[in-house]
């Protein structure tokens, strides 16, 4: 990072004029963002030198080599189902989904501001949070576009594999509700927005801001997390603090959170209005997103087979121990059925006891193949509202909510 | 990162494995050098340079190369990128969308569009090439250099001052830097490519290099 202070040479003055142009554009962009304080202050905080943040090589040194990298700028990476056969997703295998660079933040200087429709504005440090009710939960975090490459035609955006782009680690933190109660939410509060500290290479890039409805913000599992799997958050997962909106699309959970703003309406900005939206009624590929498209929120019911991996080989007479995970955003898993004949008949798998509210559930079944040769297993989960996974989820322009039935093939040798 | 010759961005485990090895072997602090292997670029064709200059700033060309979109979708995507901060002027949207649809297009029925034969056809000029050397600030603005460079701060590319310090007093430094501006390239300051600027004429190039070297 070049930290040299600006010199007052004539050309620099003029170059600054062009930087001013940028800033004017940023101001225009924030006008588009609704001119809300959160956007304005984000711009004020944007560093003059965006720098490159923490290099990917340093981030990836903390990750397992089975993590597939989907893009390097911004960094996105995840493991497919066969590398995800853990009850709790290890930090080294948790997916990475950056919008911009991985910022390097000083935990001792970081502050979280709470403002907007509140009685008292708060400025909280990491130490302040540690003095509140810190608790732990296992909870799903899944990118809205997880599984995107299974859609045909494949929409643009991070090419997550069919079972990539999600994970279920343990999170430590403080309920957002406790923080909001401390600030005192005023009448007329409708949404709560989070602002992240990540920045990109140009000052014109709008900061990452998303907002969620008040009811979800006050639900006790929504937290400001400071730890993952019993350790302090690693930089790429949002250190020193991040929001965690379990069961909802990952974009609702903002890493490196530095401001929370209570708003009288949903936040207006590119991460709300241009992304993370899905048509209420399917549209043809190539058609524009309809103006009344909905904001993505909770994940529909989904499952994956974590064992065996693709193309495993078994001997005749050997048991095939099928194992997987099933989850759903705002309901619970009622059952998981497996099919060994491409969906003609189904057998009920056994489900482990329910753990934390937003954690996935393990399912399993010991299968005794009666014939040899190549065979497949399909998994289909059903939630408590009676929704079952479809074979082919509705196509949508940005490729969100892939929850198609997962199939794995294996071979039984004679 | 010397010795890391694997093509970047191609794919996962093997690539990552070697990158990690490289990190472990390198005794210098990890952040000191970025991997020197260049990122893949766009296929050549009319509008390629302009698209590189405007679009390969915040993310790799891969975001584009892995997409196959209809004309309407590319237009929508380009408008979205402008909202996300891409420095694209109003008159540049049409040539960029034309390029993207021609080389990374999909028909309305979902089938991929075949690329035109002779993809390496002459590149469209970025801006009407002007006569003699002109005001450098105007050149920087016309060619969009300030989208990626500042005098004192590293943005996408190195600060002009850093460039001046590194090459300003080196024999042949001016030729080298001039070539880099016109032909583009990557690997000397990081892995992000500097796009080519074939429309810059010799006089403009000389003024730009002289000005860059004066920023020490």
Q: Is B178 on the interface with A (CB under 8 A)?
A: no
Evaluate whether residue A392 is within a structural domain.
yes
What residues make up the domain containing A31?
Answer: 12-275
Measure in Å the smallest separation between the Cα of B16 and chain A Cα atoms.
6
Show which of B67, B87, B121 is a domain's final residue. B121
Find the mean pLDDT for residues A325-339.
98
Same domain, B47 and B96: yes
Evaluate whether residue A289 is within a structural domain.
no
- CA-nearest of A360, A357, A366, A374 to A409 is A374
Which of the residues A16, A156, A158 would you substitute to probe the B interface, choosing the one with the greatest number of B C-beta atoms within 10 Å? A156
Which of the residues B4, B7, B15, B16 would you substitute to probe the A interface, choosing the one with the greatest number of A C-beta atoms within 10 Å? B16
Taking an 8 Å cut-off on Cβ atoms, the answer to whether A159 and B66 are in contact is yes
**Interatomic CA distance for residues B86 and B25, integer angstroms:** 37
**Interatomic CA distance for residues B158 and A52, integer angstroms:** 11
Q: Is B119 on the interface with A (CB under 8 A)?
A: no
Same domain, A308 and A259: no
The structure tokens 């006089």 sit at B203
Show which of B121, B138, B167 is a domain's final residue. B121
pLDDT at B38: 60
pLDDT at B51: 92
**Interatomic CA distance for residues A128 and B113, integer angstroms:** 57
pLDDT at B184: 86
Find the mean pLDDT for residues B162-173.
92
- CA-nearest of A66, A86, A68, A148 to A307 is A86
Q: Is B20 on the interface with A (CB under 8 A)?
A: yes
Contacts of B15 in chain A (CB under 8 A): 69
Task: Please determine, for residue A336, whether its predicted confidence score (pLDDT) is greater than 90.
Answer: yes
Evaluate whether residue B11 is within a structural domain.
no
pLDDT at A399: 96
Nearest chain B residue (CA) to A204:
B85
Same domain, B103 and B177: no
Task: Please determine, for residue A204, whether its predicted confidence score (pLDDT) is greater than 90.
Answer: no
pLDDT at A123: 98
Same domain, A45 and A164: yes
Taking an 8 Å cut-off on Cβ atoms, the answer to whether A61 and B108 are in contact is no
Same domain, A66 and A102: yes
Same domain, A255 and A309: no
Contacts of B12 in chain A (CB under 8 A): 67-69, 77
Show which of B121, B146, B170 is a domain's final residue. B121
If pLDDT is split at 50, 70 and 90, which confidence band does B134 have? Answer: low
Measure in Å the smallest separation between the Cα of B76 and chain A Cα atoms.
8
Q: What is the CATH number of the domain that holds B164?
A: 1.10.760.10
pLDDT at B122: 37
Contacts of B84 in chain A (CB under 8 A): 205-206, 270, 274
Evaluate whether residue A286 is within a structural domain.
no
Evaluate whether residue B23 is within a structural domain.
no
Find the mean pLDDT for residues B42-55.
89
Among A15-24, A196-205, A358-367, B140-149, the range with the most confident prediction by mean pLDDT is A358-367
Same domain, B114 and B42: yes
If pLDDT is split at 50, 70 and 90, which confidence band does A108 have? Answer: very high
pLDDT at B193: 78
Taking an 8 Å cut-off on Cβ atoms, the answer to whether B69 and A156 are in contact is yes
Q: Of A55, A71, A156, which has the smallest distance from its Cβ to B34's Cβ?
A: A55
Evaluate whether residue A47 is within a structural domain.
yes
Taking an 8 Å cut-off on Cβ atoms, the answer to whether A285 and B110 are in contact is yes
Helix, strand or coil, per DSSP, at residue B99: helix
Same domain, B69 and B140: no
**Interatomic CA distance for residues B9 and B18, integer angstroms:** 12
pLDDT at A298: 98
If pLDDT is split at 50, 70 and 90, which confidence band does B216 have? Answer: confident
Task: Please determine, for residue A254, whether its predicted confidence score (pLDDT) is greater than 70.
Answer: yes
Taking an 8 Å cut-off on Cβ atoms, the answer to whether A57 and B23 are in contact is yes
Same domain, A201 and A261: yes
Evaluate whether residue B70 is within a structural domain.
yes
Same domain, B100 and B146: no
pLDDT at A205: 86
Please name the helix (run of DSSP H) or strand (run of DSSP E) that holds residue A273, with its range, or none.
helix A270-273
Nearest chain B residue (CA) to A273:
B80
If pLDDT is split at 50, 70 and 90, which confidence band does A286 have? Answer: confident
Task: Please determine, for residue A335, whether its predicted confidence score (pLDDT) is greater than 50.
Answer: yes
Nearest chain B residue (CA) to A55:
B31
Domain count along chain B: 2
Contacts of B146 in chain A (CB under 8 A): 15, 18-19
Assigned token pair, A174: 């403080």
pLDDT at A122: 98
Same domain, A307 and A227: no
Q: Of B11, B84, B153, which has the smallest distance from its Cβ to A48's Cβ?
A: B153
What residues make up the domain containing B151?
Answer: 130-213
Evaluate whether residue B21 is within a structural domain.
no
Verdict on whether the full-model pTM lies above 0.90: no
Show which of A275, A293, A321 is a domain's final residue. A275
Same domain, A323 and A243: no
pLDDT tens sequence across A78-88: 999 999 999 99
Residue B193 main-chain phi, psi, to 5 deg: -80, 145
Same domain, B80 and B159: no
Same domain, A156 and A103: yes
Give B30-67 as a DSSP string.
GGGS---SPPP-PPPSTTHHHHHHHHTTTS-THHHHT-
Nearest chain B residue (CA) to A6:
B152
Same domain, B113 and B137: no
Task: Please determine, for residue B13, whether its predicted confidence score (pLDDT) is greater than 70.
Answer: no
If pLDDT is split at 50, 70 and 90, which confidence band does A295 have? Answer: very high
Mean pLDDT of chain A: 88
**How far, CA to CA in Å, does B137 sit from each of B151, B167, B204?**
12, 21, 11
Evaluate whether residue B9 is within a structural domain.
no
Contacts of A4 in chain B (CB under 8 A): 152, 159, 161
Same domain, A182 and A52: yes
Percent of chain A whose pLDDT exceeds 90: 79
In this structure, what DSSP letter does residue A374 have?
E
pLDDT at A19: 33
Measure in Å the smallest separation between the Cα of B173 and chain A Cα atoms.
21
Nearest chain B residue (CA) to A269:
B83
Taking an 8 Å cut-off on Cβ atoms, the answer to whether B215 and A65 are in contact is no
Taking an 8 Å cut-off on Cβ atoms, the answer to whether A2 and B84 are in contact is no
pLDDT at B112: 80
pLDDT at A306: 98
Contacts of B152 in chain A (CB under 8 A): 2, 4-7, 12
Evaluate whether residue A7 is within a structural domain.
no
Same domain, B117 and B149: no
Evaluate whether residue A311 is within a structural domain.
yes
What is the ipTM, given to two decimal places?
A: 0.73
Same domain, A46 and A174: yes
Q: Which residues is A270 bridged to in the sheet?
A: none
Find the mean pLDDT for residues B64-69.
90
Task: Please determine, for residue A337, whether its predicted confidence score (pLDDT) is greater than 90.
Answer: yes
CB atoms within 10 A of CB A193: 26
If pLDDT is split at 50, 70 and 90, which confidence band does B109 have? Answer: confident
Evaluate whether residue B7 is within a structural domain.
no
pLDDT at B117: 67
Evaluate whether residue B47 is within a structural domain.
yes
Evaluate whether residue B25 is within a structural domain.
no
Contacts of A48 in chain B (CB under 8 A): 153
- Would strands A320-327 and A312-315 be described as parallel, antiparallel, or unpaired? unpaired
**Interatomic CA distance for residues A161 and A341, integer angstroms:** 24
Q: Is B7 on the interface with A (CB under 8 A)?
A: no
Contacts of B9 in chain A (CB under 8 A): 69, 71-72
pLDDT at A371: 92
Evaluate whether residue A358 is within a structural domain.
yes
Q: Of B12, B31, B147, which has the smallest distance from its Cβ to A55's Cβ?
A: B31
Same domain, B135 and B116: no
Same domain, A94 and A234: yes
In this structure, what DSSP letter does residue A281 have?
S
pLDDT at A267: 96
Taking an 8 Å cut-off on Cβ atoms, the answer to whether B137 and A204 are in contact is no
Q: Poorest-confidence range of A45-49, A106-110, A175-179?
A: A45-49
If pLDDT is split at 50, 70 and 90, which confidence band does A369 have? Answer: very high
Same domain, A258 and A311: no
Q: Poorest-confidence range of A141-155, A350-364, B171-185?
A: B171-185
Mean pLDDT of chain B: 74
Task: Spell out the residues 6+ positions from residue B85 whose beta carbon is closer than 8 angstroms to its own.
Answer: A25, A26, A29, A200, A202, A203, A204, A205, A206, B58
Nearest chain A residue (CA) to B60:
A73
Q: What is the CATH number of the domain that holds A363?
A: 2.60.40.650
Q: What is the CATH number of the domain that holds A245?
A: 3.90.420.10
If pLDDT is split at 50, 70 and 90, which confidence band does B37 have? Answer: low
Give per-residue burial for A380-394: e unless 16+ CB within 10 Å, then b.
bbbbeeeebbeeebe
Contacts of A290 in chain B (CB under 8 A): none
Domain count along chain A: 2
Q: Of B30, B72, B86, which has the smallest distance from its Cβ to A286's Cβ?
A: B72
């Amino acid at each position: 990072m070049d930290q040299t202070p600006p010199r007052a040479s004539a050309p620099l003055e003029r170059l600054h004029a062009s930087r001013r142009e940028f800033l004017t554009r940023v101001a225009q962009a924030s006008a588009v963002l609704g001119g809300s304080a959160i956007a304005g202050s984000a711009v004020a905080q944007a560093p003059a030198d965006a720098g490159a943040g923490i290099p990917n090589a340093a981030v990836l040194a903390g990750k397992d080599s089975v993590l597939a990298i989907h893009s390097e700028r911004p960094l996105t990476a995840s493991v497919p189902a066969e590398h995800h056969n853990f009850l709790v997703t290890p930090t080294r295998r948790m997916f990475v989904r950056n919008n911009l660079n991985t910022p390097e933040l000083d935990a001792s200087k970081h502050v979280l501001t709470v403002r907007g429709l509140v009685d008292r504005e708060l400025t909280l440090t990491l130490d302040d949070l540690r003095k509140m009710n810190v608790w732990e939960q296992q909870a799903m975090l899944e990118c809205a576009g997880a599984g995107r490459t299974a859609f045909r035609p494949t929409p643009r955006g991070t090419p997550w594999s069919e079972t990539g782009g999600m994970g279920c680690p343990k999170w430590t933190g403080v309920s957002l509700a406790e923080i909001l109660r401390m600030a005192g939410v005023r009448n007329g509060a409708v949404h709560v927005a989070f602002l992240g500290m990540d920045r990109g290479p140009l000052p014109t890039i709008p900061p990452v801001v998303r907002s969620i409805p008040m009811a979800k913000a006050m639900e006790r599992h929504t937290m400001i997390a400071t730890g993952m799997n019993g350790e302090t958050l690693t930089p790429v997962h949002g250190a020193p603090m991040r929001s965690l909106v379990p069961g909802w699309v990952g974009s609702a959970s903002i890493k490196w959170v530095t401001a929370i703003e209570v708003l009288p309406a949903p936040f207006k900005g590119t991460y709300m209005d241009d992304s993370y939206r899905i048509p209420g009624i399917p549209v043809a590929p190539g058609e524009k997103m309809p103006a009344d498209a909905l904001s993505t929120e909770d994940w529909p019911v989904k499952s994956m087979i974590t064992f065996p991996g693709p193309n495993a080989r078994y001997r005749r007479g050997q048991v095939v121990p099928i194992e997987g995970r099933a989850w759903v955003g705002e309901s619970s898993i009622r059952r998981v059925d497996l099919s060994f004949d491409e969906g003609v008949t189904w057998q009920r798998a056994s489900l482990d006891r329910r753990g934390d509210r937003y954690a996935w559930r393990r399912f399993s079944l010991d299968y005794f193949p009666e014939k040899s040769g190549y065979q497949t297993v399909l998994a289909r989960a059903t939630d408590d509202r009676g929704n079952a996974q479809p074979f082919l989820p509705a196509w949508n322009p940005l490729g969100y909510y892939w929850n198609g039935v997962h199939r794995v093939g294996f071979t039984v040798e004679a | 990162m010397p010795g890391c010759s694997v093509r970047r961005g191609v794919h996962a485990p093997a690539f990552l494995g070697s990158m990690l090895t490289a990190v472990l072997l390198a005794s210098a602090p990890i952040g000191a050098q970025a991997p020197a292997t260049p990122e893949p670029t766009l296929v050549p064709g009319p509008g390629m340079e302009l698209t590189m200059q405007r679009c390969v700033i915040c993310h790799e060309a891969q975001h584009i190369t892995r997409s196959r979109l209809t004309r309407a979708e590319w237009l929508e995507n380009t408008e979205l990128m402008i909202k996300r901060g891409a420095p694209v002027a109003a008159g540049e949207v049409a040539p960029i969308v034309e390029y993207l649809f021609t080389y990374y297009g999909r028909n309305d029925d979902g089938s991929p569009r075949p690329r035109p034969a002779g993809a390496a056809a002459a590149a469209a000029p970025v801006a009407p090439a002007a006569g003699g050397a002109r005001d450098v600030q105007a050149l920087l603005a016309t060619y969009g250099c300030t989208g990626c460079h500042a005098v004192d701060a590293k943005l996408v590319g190195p600060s002009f001052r850093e460039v001046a310090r590194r090459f300003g007093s080196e024999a042949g430094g001016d030729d080298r830097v001039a070539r880099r501006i016109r032909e583009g390239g990557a690997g000397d300051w990081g892995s992000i490519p500097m796009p080519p600027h074939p429309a810059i004429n010799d006089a403009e190039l000389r003024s730009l290099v002289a000005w860059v070297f004066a920023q020490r």
